Amino acid sequence: MATLQDLGVAAAINIISAFIFLLVFAFLKLQPANARVYYPKWYLKGVRQGSSRGDERGSLLRFVNLNYKSYLHFLDWMRDALRMPEGELIAHAGLDSVVYLRIYLLGLKVFVPLMLLGFLVLVPVNVTDSNIQTGKIFGTDIDKISLTNIREKSPRLWAHVVMTYVFTAWTCFMLFTEYKTVARMRFQFLAAEARRPDQFTVLVRQVPLDPDEPISTHIDHFFRVNHPDYYLCNQVIYNANKLAKLVKKREGLQNWLDYYQLQFQRKNTERPMTKTGLWGLWGQKVDAIQYYTDGINQISKEATVERERVLNDDSSKLPVAFVSFRSRWGAAVCAQTQQTRDPTVWLTEWAPEPRDVYWRNLSVPYLQLTMRKLFITGAVFLLIFFYIIPVTFVQSLANLEGIEKKLTFLRPIIEAKFIKSFLQGFLPGLALKLFLHFLPKLLMFMSKIEGHLALSQLEVSTSAKYYYFMVVNVFFASVIAGAAFEQLKTFFQQSPSQIPVILAGSIPQKATFFITYIMVDGWASIAADIMRIKPLIVYHLKNMFLVKTDKDRENAMSPGSAGFDTVFPQLELYFLLGTVYSIITPFILPFIIVYLAFAYVVYRHQVINVYDPEYESAAAFWPHIHNRIIVSLLVEQITLFGVFAGKRAAASTPLLIGLPIMTIVFHYYCKNRFEPAFRKYPLEEAMSKDIVDRATHPNWNIKTYLQNSYMHPVFKDSEEEMD
Amino acid sequence: MATLQDLGVAAAINIISAFIFLLVFAFLKLQPANARVYYPKWYLKGVRQGSSRGDERGSLLRFVNLNYKSYLHFLDWMRDALRMPEGELIAHAGLDSVVYLRIYLLGLKVFVPLMLLGFLVLVPVNVTDSNIQTGKIFGTDIDKISLTNIREKSPRLWAHVVMTYVFTAWTCFMLFTEYKTVARMRFQFLAAEARRPDQFTVLVRQVPLDPDEPISTHIDHFFRVNHPDYYLCNQVIYNANKLAKLVKKREGLQNWLDYYQLQFQRKNTERPMTKTGLWGLWGQKVDAIQYYTDGINQISKEATVERERVLNDDSSKLPVAFVSFRSRWGAAVCAQTQQTRDPTVWLTEWAPEPRDVYWRNLSVPYLQLTMRKLFITGAVFLLIFFYIIPVTFVQSLANLEGIEKKLTFLRPIIEAKFIKSFLQGFLPGLALKLFLHFLPKLLMFMSKIEGHLALSQLEVSTSAKYYYFMVVNVFFASVIAGAAFEQLKTFFQQSPSQIPVILAGSIPQKATFFITYIMVDGWASIAADIMRIKPLIVYHLKNMFLVKTDKDRENAMSPGSAGFDTVFPQLELYFLLGTVYSIITPFILPFIIVYLAFAYVVYRHQVINVYDPEYESAAAFWPHIHNRIIVSLLVEQITLFGVFAGKRAAASTPLLIGLPIMTIVFHYYCKNRFEPAFRKYPLEEAMSKDIVDRATHPNWNIKTYLQNSYMHPVFKDSEEEMD
């Protein structure tokens, strides 16, 4: 167990390393050559322009910033990041990003008062008692200022009961106002938005096939009859997954062609050669430019044939369509109602915005969805509780002796003393590190199999899976100490009344561990995040080997997005830690607060200057965030039950029963009050937007506007190419 | 434990008593004087007419049936009951009644094949093993033909595993086809129905108050803007609860007046006198006819004043309205969509049909509903698990010594030996009997407090509460043996993995108890039901003291309804017993089948000849029935886990895990596939009915038709009176 001093040292190390990261970042971002890495958003907006490569005009200044003054203000980006007002930020980066940043603010709003109260009320109460000093139990400095130091049956516990109610009430109050604000922001955002195809469009699934008429006509007839005054047109969806693959393959070849052409252009002496085998490593040697040009032509031909086939073959039409209406009111009605007796056909839901559609999954048969969901749920369950088994297996394979035996030619290298000891320390962890690195991608892959139709849904679904993984394998695994599947056994074989006791037994002892975790995983990782090491390297590599035109350079930027699928779970885990420890060990709160404040500044900077979100869901993810904070409250309350029972506080323990009831009632209240705002589009809103639209653009031709709005991007690409 | 012989005797007693009840019924129903008790439905339909009291025409034949031939066919009613085809029955008694009868048929369809398979496969397998014969465990004759007789680790258990899958699959298949049929019947029924106000009407709750305009105008404006093409009119609801009370009080006085006028008419000598105090037992003596006439006049005046106040005072208008639309399509759209940003105002839902509205609860503020629901949930929980405490308390008060001390004048009576022993045996049970008798009324009262707006919802909600009560206090209380709150303790302190073991330990032993229960509670109670003792007595009493005109006699009939609130839970309990024991002790099945078949005939007779349903919900209750049978399957499967684990069948037990997964998947499939049919009105259906309507009645004036369709019955009554 760590003393306060140990923690202080750890904090100092982490703060210093974070500071070094920030210095490096400040230096890197001031170099003009890196501008497209650190300010891509402004290039995409067209505010910044021009090439940052100086080969045409040749000047050192285009690469390196020699103005020493600018280095003096190396922390100004923080001030700049905080300066942009929220309204402007919504216009600049969209509502999703702004609401995402508000989660950090919410954390501060919740935890700062909790910390103040904790240090003003609970710490003095704890520190003046003497459970540890009297030697009844063993404890560290941190335990002395936490609930552990309260003696059994002490009347001081009343302070904790009162504070628990105050904390819960404050958290709920903050959650409530935040939910209300986000719901209001969402409606304002939707109301203020420009005209967009998805406002008029409904996604219809499970169109029943009619042997007598083509699918498009069938849809036409159905909606003409059942929505006579509002129906406008429909866009049938083609199964273009094969075509998309071809186009993607062509893009890959095009990259190689560009690379060799650039090489040839620069050296100007001999034509570059390549090998026809895998990754250009094996096989016959051929002229590279010729080889890739041929390949591209070949695939282009295939793509053209496939494109014709898809567009003309009836069997490639999916029983899915985007159906558009004359007014937003008509679309809102269709999306919210049931069309026929059989609730498994003619299913209507709001269409995601065109960018947000995940086209591949439109071809998933609807009736498979339940089975897919079930299968993935089972797989995620296994992954969460038993992932450690394959990892351990790989670790056991990856020992040095095994590798030496199989790959004998490596023996001289491995036997070198220094390398051997390094590998022996490094290899066992490698499998786990690799697994954890690829975990979000694996979970995203699983979510894709589940069959979600929009990228926004995919990210939310992945974030849920990742959250469960972290709660079980970071939180409970540290608390209960043991592999996840052993926890499962513990929980299943204990009576429900024992669970709070188990939690109470170990949670207070793990406070120092989690404080260290917050510093290493939280503080340091944010500081590393802002440096954008990977995009920096990738951009410069691309710039070196692939970029020929300014448009190529535009494409070489990879602004990325906030990555809600991994960012939300991490944040939610910190909320869980903060809530669970707020009463037991308030000393953890300042560390979380530092994390939240620091992350808020850093990610606000990234949102303003870097990220380019792939879609805009108007904060549709908020209910998930809210629900998980509610769960954190419940975990806290169950733990406190156990702690109080352990302190034999017979008088005060029953009072705690009010907390989960209060929390659950609050949850349902919020659900009823606010969740519909994120799921439905009220008719009044639709109607008022329609009325304004009709008044301002009486002659607007909606039909041409919507004609090709929902076209598979692969067709758009090939159309552009043909132009 | 009972032997087969004991059970035979019990069965014989129950069959004989049921037969006697049927004989008495056959005799009673043939007497013309009882016709309005046993055939009220036909009087209400106008098929039977005329008075059955002979005082004007004076003939014994009007009272007693002297035709001996008719007594010979005393069981013909069974044939007659089964004769009416289903289609006709729907037209005669409504869809609710027909689907209710189908539950019994469903039970037969499920359990008859299960019984055959059980007796052909499982019983031979069980009876040829020798767990009991070898004296390893103690067991009765019934245990010898049940799973108990299988030895540990016996390979014979494979037969039971296979049969469990077969039984579950068969039950699910039957549930599926039944759900499908009922959903289809519901749609056909709705499509075939005549025009009804509720097809065009939506109930709007939480109308926000506007200080500038009256509520009706406010509603008008809102819907004119947001449903411009379909909105027709609205009917604001008045808080007429006080008026309704006055009207009810007047009816009570009218009854007394009728009674005294009849007395005076018959005796013709002296005017009857009454006392002004409670129940006419205390107080001043006055002329009865004068007294009640004055009372009625007084209350009529009050009612008129109240009526004026309600209709003219704005504060008696509730923020609730029935809003009608020009077409069914418009109403279906409004009912299924969200109207405004704030999901707690302008709430729309389908209006119940006018008869089905529970007017009192329309005045319950919407925001109280959650609190009410929570409060009632808590109360029901306490009632289910702790009802035995107050009952025991009353029992302890009601001992003879206590009564003697307080009511000393009763001492001589109580001390008489015979009476004393009778009372000592009788009193302790009395409190419990009274409690159980009033339980459904208490639960209905609780459901009313919950704030449901329709009688159909009230009955479904009450039936759920009653079902939980029976499952805990009949099923689990018998199985685990102990008061309900002790079970709670058992379940809470055991680990989840122990629950199947506990169930498995006692369920097989309780088979004989439940067989007796089925005979006493099931067989005998149905036979008693058909005699309609209470309505018979009440009718003749009313006939004697209150009936003056034929219209009075019409009112004196109390056909009643099937009483879904108490009938469903009983049926569902039998489904639970049948499913749970189908594998363990198939011997229970014949008893359930006899019950179901007998009940089917009896209640079909009652539905045809007696019941007059208060409302028609088009089988809206079906999902509840379906869900509870699913729960029965799950209880069965959990129990089997324990039984197999107890038999140490290590190879076959894991195979059982597939059952609950299969069942839950099936449940969700059915929920998605069929439940919307009971909750929403598809636009296609609405549109096609609209189109037919427009074609057949192009000039129909919908506005006058809907004008006063949703008027509080109390206004209708007083209007009739004024005519």
Least confident span in A184-198, A343-357, B264-278, B442-456? B264-278
Q: CB–CB of A682 and B338 under 8 A?
A: yes
3-state secondary structure A291-341: HHHHHHHHHHHHHHHHHHHHHHCHHHEEEEEEEEECCHHHHHHHHHCCCCC
Cα separation values, A268 from A53, A262, A272, A288, Å: 20, 9, 10, 14
Closest in A493, A673, A684 to B344, CB measured: A673
B341 near A CB under 8 A:
yes
A339 near B CB under 8 A:
yes
| Full strand arrangement of the beta sheet holding A347-350 | A231-238, A317-325, A201-205, A347-350
Band of residue A460 on the pLDDT scale cut at 50, 70, 90: very high
**Chain A residue whose CA is closest to B368:** A669
Q: CB–CB of B338 and A336 under 8 A?
A: yes
A225 near B CB under 8 A:
yes
B71 neighbors B101 (Cβ within 8 angstroms): no
Q: Which residues, in sequence order, are bridge partners of residue B235?
A: B322
Long-range contacts, stretch A533-540, CB < 8 angstroms, 24+ apart: A535/A37, A535/A560, A536/A28, A536/A34, A536/A37, A539/A34, A539/A36, A539/A37, A540/A33
A187 near B CB under 8 A:
yes
**Chain B residue whose CA is closest to A347:** B682
Band of residue A723 on the pLDDT scale cut at 50, 70, 90: very low
Tokens 């993935």 identify what position? A376
Tokens 């594998």 identify what position? B583
- Letter for the amino acid at B37? V
Q: How far is CA A28 from the centre of its chain?
A: 26
Pick A43 or A273 by higher pLDDT.
A43
Q: Above 70 in pLDDT, residue A482?
A: no
Q: CB–CB of B682 and A492 under 8 A?
A: no
Dihedral of CA A593/A595/A601/A606: which sign? Answer: negative
Residues 501-530 of B with CB under 8 A from A: none
Closest in B225, B494, B680 to A495, CB measured: B494
B337 near A CB under 8 A:
yes
Q: CB–CB of A338 and B668 under 8 A?
A: no
Least confident span in A92-106, A543-557, B682-696? A543-557
Q: Which pLDDT belongs to residue A57?
A: 45
Task: Tell me the pLDDT tens digit for each residue of A536-566.
Answer: 888 888 777 777 777 777 777 777 787 888 8
Average pLDDT score, chain B: 82
Least confident span in A408-412, A536-540, B207-211? A408-412
Q: How far is CA B234 from the centre of its chain?
A: 33
State the Cα–Cα distance between residues A22 and A26, nearest whole angstrom: 6
- Letter for the amino acid at A43? Y
Return the closest-CA partner of residue B395 out of B436, B432, B442, B439. B432
Task: Tell me the pLDDT tens digit for each residue of B520-532.
Answer: 888 877 887 888 8
Task: Tell me the pLDDT tens digit for each residue of B73-97.
Answer: 667 788 888 888 888 889 888 899 9
Least confident span in B157-171, B421-435, B465-479? B421-435
Count Cα atoms within 13 angstroms, Cβ side, for A281.
Answer: 2
Q: Which residues, in sequence order, are bridge partners of residue A350?
A: A202
B673 near A CB under 8 A:
yes
B682 near A CB under 8 A:
yes
A683 near B CB under 8 A:
yes
Q: Which pLDDT belongs to residue A277?
A: 66
**By percentage, how much of chain A surpasses pLDDT 70?**
85
B336 near A CB under 8 A:
yes
Q: Torsions phi, psi of A343, nearest 5?
A: -75, 5
Q: How far is CA B338 from the centre of its chain?
A: 33
**Mean pLDDT score, B687-701:** 86
Q: How far is CA B42 from the centre of its chain?
A: 23
Band of residue A60 on the pLDDT scale cut at 50, 70, 90: low
Distance, first Cα to last Cα, chain B: 69
Q: Torsions phi, psi of A259, nearest 5?
A: -60, -50
Secondary structure class of B350 (helix, strand, coil): strand
Q: CB–CB of B493 and A497 under 8 A?
A: yes
Q: Above 60 in pLDDT, residue A235?
A: yes
Q: Which pLDDT belongs to residue A181?
A: 94
B669 near A CB under 8 A:
yes
User: Chain A interface, mutation test: which of B341, B664, B687, most A Cβ atoms within 10 Å?
Assistant: B341
Q: Which pLDDT belongs to residue A278?
A: 64
B133 near A CB under 8 A:
no
Q: Which residues, in sequence order, are bridge partners of residue B325?
A: B231
Residues of A in contact with B677 (CB under 8 A): 341, 343
Task: Tell me the pLDDT tens digit for each residue of A374-398.
Answer: 899 999 999 988 887 777 777 666 5
Which tokens go with B290?
């004068």
| Burial bucket for residue B587 (CB in 10 Å: 0-12, 13-18, 19+) | buried
Q: Torsions phi, psi of A454, nearest 5?
A: -130, 150
**Mean pLDDT score, A136-152:** 74
State the Cα–Cα distance between residues A471 and A572, nearest whole angstrom: 9
**Closest approach of B710 to chain A, Cα-based (Å):** 25
Give the range with max mean pLDDT: A60-74, A260-274, B392-406, B587-601.
Answer: B587-601
Q: Which pLDDT belongs to residue A448?
A: 93
B684 near A CB under 8 A:
yes
Q: Above 80 in pLDDT, residue B652?
A: no
User: Chain B interface, mutation test: which of A341, A349, A674, most B Cβ atoms within 10 Å?
Assistant: A341
3-state secondary structure B88-110: HHHHHHCHHHHHHHHHHHHHHHH
Give the range with max mean pLDDT: A426-435, A542-551, B158-167, B238-247.
Answer: B158-167
Which tokens go with A1?
């167990």
Secondary structure class of A286 (helix, strand, coil): strand
**Mean pLDDT score, B339-357:** 88
Q: Which pLDDT belongs to residue A116?
A: 93
Q: Torsions phi, psi of B274, nearest 5?
A: -140, 170
Residues contacting residue A570 through CB under 8 Å, at least 6 positions apart: A470, A521, A522
Q: CB–CB of A677 and B343 under 8 A?
A: yes
Q: CB–CB of B226 and A677 under 8 A?
A: no
Q: Above 90 in pLDDT, residue A107?
A: yes
**Mean pLDDT score, A691-711:** 83
Rounded-to-10 torsion of CA A622, A628, A633, A634: 130
Pick B473 or B54 by higher pLDDT.
B473
Secondary structure class of A715 (helix, strand, coil): helix
Q: Above 70 in pLDDT, residue A2?
A: no
Plot region of A561 (φ>0 → left; ψ -120 to 50 → alpha; else → beta): beta
B226 near A CB under 8 A:
yes
Which tokens go with A655?
């009072």
Q: How far is CA A415 from the centre of its chain?
A: 43
Cα separation values, A546 from A245, A261, A448, A553, B639, Å: 22, 9, 31, 9, 67
**Chain A residue whose CA is closest to B347:** A682
Average pLDDT score, chain A: 82
Q: Which pLDDT belongs to residue B55?
A: 43
CB burial string B404-418: b at 16+ within 10 A, e below: eeeeeeeeeeeeeee
State the Cα–Cα distance between residues B592 and A125, nearest whole angstrom: 65
Q: Which pLDDT belongs to residue A55?
A: 43
Q: CB–CB of A340 and B684 under 8 A?
A: yes
Closest in A495, A497, A668 to B370, CB measured: A668
Pick B509 or A190 by higher pLDDT.
A190
Closest in A187, A341, A668 to B341, CB measured: A187
Closest in B183, B340, B495 to A494, CB measured: B495
Q: Which pLDDT belongs to residue A52?
A: 45
Q: How far is CA B578 from the centre of its chain?
A: 21
Q: Above 60 in pLDDT, residue B53?
A: no
State the Cα–Cα distance between residues B515 and B10, nearest whole angstrom: 10
Long-range contacts, stretch A378-382, CB < 8 angstroms, 24+ apart: A379/A446, A380/A443, A380/A446, A380/A465, A380/A468
Task: Tell me the pLDDT tens digit for each residue of A332-378.
Answer: 999 999 998 888 889 898 888 888 899 888 888 887 888 898 899 99
State the Cα–Cα distance between residues B424 and B418, nearest whole angstrom: 10
Band of residue A399 on the pLDDT scale cut at 50, 70, 90: low
B343 near A CB under 8 A:
yes
User: Chain B interface, mutation test: which of A176, A325, A338, most B Cβ atoms within 10 Å?
Assistant: A338
Residues of A in contact with B498 (CB under 8 A): 495
Beta strands in A400-509, from DSSP E residues, in sequence order:
none
Q: CB–CB of A343 and B492 under 8 A?
A: no
Q: CB–CB of A677 and B341 under 8 A?
A: yes
Q: Which pLDDT belongs to residue B364?
A: 86
Q: Which pLDDT belongs to residue B57?
A: 45
**Mean pLDDT score, B235-263:** 82
Q: Above 50 in pLDDT, residue B52?
A: no
Band of residue A717 on the pLDDT scale cut at 50, 70, 90: low
Q: Above 60 in pLDDT, residue B314?
A: yes
**Mean pLDDT score, B410-415:** 68
Q: Which pLDDT belongs to residue B723?
A: 43
Closest in B344, B668, B682 to A338, CB measured: B682
Other beta carbons less than 10 A from residue B100's beta carbon: 26
**Mean pLDDT score, A626-633:** 93
**Mean pLDDT score, B485-490:** 68
**Mean pLDDT score, A217-229:** 90
Pick B287 or B104 by higher pLDDT.
B104
Residues contacting residue B104 through CB under 8 Å, at least 6 positions apart: B571, B596, B597, B599, B600, B603
B512 neighbors B2 (Cβ within 8 angstroms): yes
**Closest approach of A440 to chain B, Cα-based (Å):** 28
